[in-house]
Structure 1
Amino acid sequence: MTGRTFRMRRLRTGGPAPAARDRGTQPKVVALGGGHGLSASLASLRRITGDLTAVVTVADDGGSSGRLREELGVLPPGDLRKALAALCGDDDWGQTWSRVIQHRFQSQGDLHDHAVGNLLIVALWEQLGDHVAALDLVGKLLGAHGRVLPMSAVPLELQALVKGHEPTRPDDVETVRGQATVALTRGEVQSVHLVPADPPAVPEAVQAVMDADWVVLGPGSWFSSVIPHLLVPELLTALVETRARRVLSLNLAPQPGETEGFSPQRHLEVLARHAPKLALDVVLADRDAVPDSDSLADAAKRFGAAVELAPVAARDSSATHDPELLAAAYDRIFRMHGRIGPWR
């Protein structure tokens, strides 16, 4: 917790998201997460800065990623692929490559449901023998508006203590293994941890956090995409010690399974249990997703954070973020809460 002043502010609804600033005047931003939540954040952040790095979880064990991980012993590439796709531009080149790497084969054979981007990433890992260099090369091919890094260079297994995972034993607490299983549990997740317990962080990811002006955590699956970053010791140390300002972006609604029934403030309480030394500067939430702003304010105060309420949800009731509205909210936060003077 810090001594920063707590404030509750409702952000005004803006027009279209601003274009990215010139390189010399834009913030250096690192976004952490995985899956669709991180993709939503990246698709917004790339609209307001060209100095953007995604740090992605590597504990996925389902679908195409899980099969490649089991067969070849590689990092699961799926969330890395989604991040790269989200960083593709809105021009024909970017949108074509975004569709290509997200394309999944449909067949009766071994290629069924494999994503093209997963195969491309794994092929370059095998060719280059370097996770970071391979992802940089894929990003260059796609014309990605930012860099994508794994949070660790070793495949990780997510494990959770879950109460009532078996409906017939609602009071039992047991260990549930695997990100895919944790994400779909019908029980109450008590805590999560990684195997191995102290995985090494990718040095470039640690350095990116230390060099950033802003670090964005969330939105995303809370226990399986957001909190895992806090379980990598070197990455957590960087998040605690960085001079960057830190914004936590909350989900629009509880996720069926791992956070079913969670209030916005409970998401913060769970985060604090896993990383009690972490401080935040801003907690961003959709104003229509916060029924009790006072309780959220109290939860945010424990982190030393201001709460910003803004319209960031898509208007089609799909429980997804609108990239333009989310970009506008991030831009206003960076301007209002940024340090005095031009961005480096």
Structure 2
Amino acid sequence: MSYTNKPKIVVIGGGTGLPVVLKELRNKNVDITAVVTVADDGGSSGIIRDYVNVVPPGDIRNVMSALSNLPSLDLDIFQYRFRSEDKFLAGHAIGNLVIAALSEMKGGIFPAIQELSEIMQVQGKVYPASNEPLVLHAEFTDNTQLAGEAEITAAHKTIKRIWVENNPWSDNKKPVAVPEAVKAIEEADQIIMGPGSLFTSILPNLMIPDISSAILRTTAEIIYICNIMTQKGETIGFTDSDHVKVLNQHLGRNFIDTVLVNTEQVSEEYMDFNRYDEVSKQVKHDFKGLRDQGCRVISDDFLLLRNGGAFHNGERVVEELMNLVGSPSKNKN
């Protein structure tokens, strides 16, 4: 593959994993687009969503900070979260309030993000997956169903499938993607999913029909960065192959081309399970299962131990992603 311009890379997801990759990608000579989930209903984002009827801003805030060229003090202020004893403002991040305010001023989340991107000197493009806040739904293996990301995760049941719906007061009968996000996917050279919560950060984006269709049409290499640890309420007992199987099943086709998996061992003695109560055991490997689904497997030490938790080393991950830009992928040939 040859380029007349910078390689176009689209990163899809949400949560805390996405910024890890974006912080390092912004230092590379690439055209970055981040497509961010809008189904979060927990914490500060959930409260703002309920009272202001705006797309939950938390994931968008973190992505914009990761891509911003502002001085560190400015970003610290934008990311500052009020203490729990602050009553009315308890738990709210200043950036969330700014995004909510701009959404009202500009008549929607999309123009608000574009305006704020200029103010924050964002390197790349940030698009919400949809202009409307979406409601996440799940069906579990016991055939029960729940709505709401926080409720689904807290149920600690095995998820069979998830889907997204508009709020009841929406004018649209089904979720509609931001057209710019769809176009970015169609024109991408590389699409990255993860790291992040499988059912609540990555799949909600893919469950928007316009986005899933674009994913299945694109000629870009699609890369999944598998989580290092399993997650309570979502992926207990999952192998890396199980993660990919869930993605493929939801889109009805084996569409993941390449999977990045960490092979460095995480010491349970190091992990602070009181602080990171959403993690449990290290994801086990099933390389044969991945290859049976048509995946190229890139396995290496992508581990970063920090503050009692296991995270991806963004620098090493992005170094591998840059090696893969332009290389032929198995499923596209």
TM surpasses 0.5: yes
**Residue 102 (structure 1) aligned with residue 82 (structure 2):** no
The 10-residue stretch of structure 1 (51-60 or 123-132) with the greater mean CA deviation from structure 2? 123-132
Using structure 1 for the length normalisation, give the TM-score.
Answer: 0.82
Equivalent position to 1:287, from 249, 263, 271:
263
Counterpart of 2:51 in structure 1 is: 71
Counterpart of 2:228 in structure 1 is: 252
| One-letter amino acid of the counterpart of residue 186, structure 2 | M
Counterpart of 1:14 in structure 2 is: none
- Matched residue pairs, number? 304
The 10-residue stretch of structure 1 (67-76 or 139-148) with the greater mean CA deviation from structure 2? 139-148
Q: List aligned pairs for 1:279-318, cutoff 5 A.
A: 279-288=255-264, 295-302=286-293, 304-316=294-306, 318=309
Q: Contact 1:61–1:76 (CA<8 Å) still a contact in 2?
A: yes
**Residue 215 (structure 1) aligned with residue 205 (structure 2):** no
Counterpart of 1:29 in structure 2 is: 9
| One-letter amino acid of the counterpart of residue 310, structure 2 | A
Q: Contact 1:283–1:300 (CA<8 Å) still a contact in 2?
A: no
Counterpart of 1:328 in structure 2 is: 319
Q: Contact 1:185–1:258 (CA<8 Å) still a contact in 2?
A: no
Equivalent position to 1:146, from 121, 124, 127:
124
Counterpart of 1:4 in structure 2 is: none
Deviations 1:239-285 (A, max 9, x none): 11112221111111111221111111111111121112352321111
Q: Contact 2:185–2:191 (CA<8 Å) still a contact in 1?
A: yes
Equivalent position to 2:22, from 42, 52, 76:
42
CA distance in 2 between counterparts of 1:62 and 1:176 reads 15
Distance change in 2, residues 1:280/1:132 (3 Å):
same
Q: List aligned pairs for 1:157-306, cutoff 5 A.
A: 157-163=135-141, 172-196=142-166, 198-288=174-264, 295-302=286-293, 304-306=294-296
Distance change in 2, residues 1:137/1:24 (3 Å):
farther
1:222 CA drift (Å) = 0.4
Distance change in 2, residues 1:154/1:178 (3 Å):
same
Equivalent position to 1:119, from 79, 97, 104:
97
Supply the RMSD in Å over aligned alpha carbons.
2.3
Counterpart of 1:7 in structure 2 is: none
1:157 CA drift (Å) = 0.8
% of aligned pairs identical?
34
1:146 CA drift (Å) = 1.6
CA distance in 2 between counterparts of 1:261 and 1:126 reads 43
CA distance in 1 between counterparts of 2:305 and 2:82 reads 32
The 10-residue stretch of structure 1 (46-55 or 74-83) with the greater mean CA deviation from structure 2? 46-55
| One-letter amino acid of the counterpart of residue 239, structure 1 | I
1:297 CA drift (Å) = 3.6
CA distance in 2 between counterparts of 1:292 and 1:258 reads 15
Distance change in 2, residues 1:337/1:312 (3 Å):
farther
Gaps of 5+ in 1: 1-22, 164-171, 339-344
Say which SS state the counterpart of residue 10 (structure 2) adopts: strand
Say which SS state the counterpart of residue 192 (structure 1) adopts: strand
CA distance in 1 between counterparts of 2:185 and 2:73 reads 31
The 10-residue stretch of structure 1 (129-138 or 232-241) with the greater mean CA deviation from structure 2? 129-138
Distance change in 2, residues 1:27/1:78 (3 Å):
same
Give the number of the structure whose residues are more often strand, by fraction: 2
Q: Contact 2:264–2:302 (CA<8 Å) still a contact in 1?
A: no
Q: Contact 2:226–2:240 (CA<8 Å) still a contact in 1?
A: yes
1:291 CA drift (Å) = 8.0
| One-letter amino acid of the counterpart of residue 304, structure 2 | A
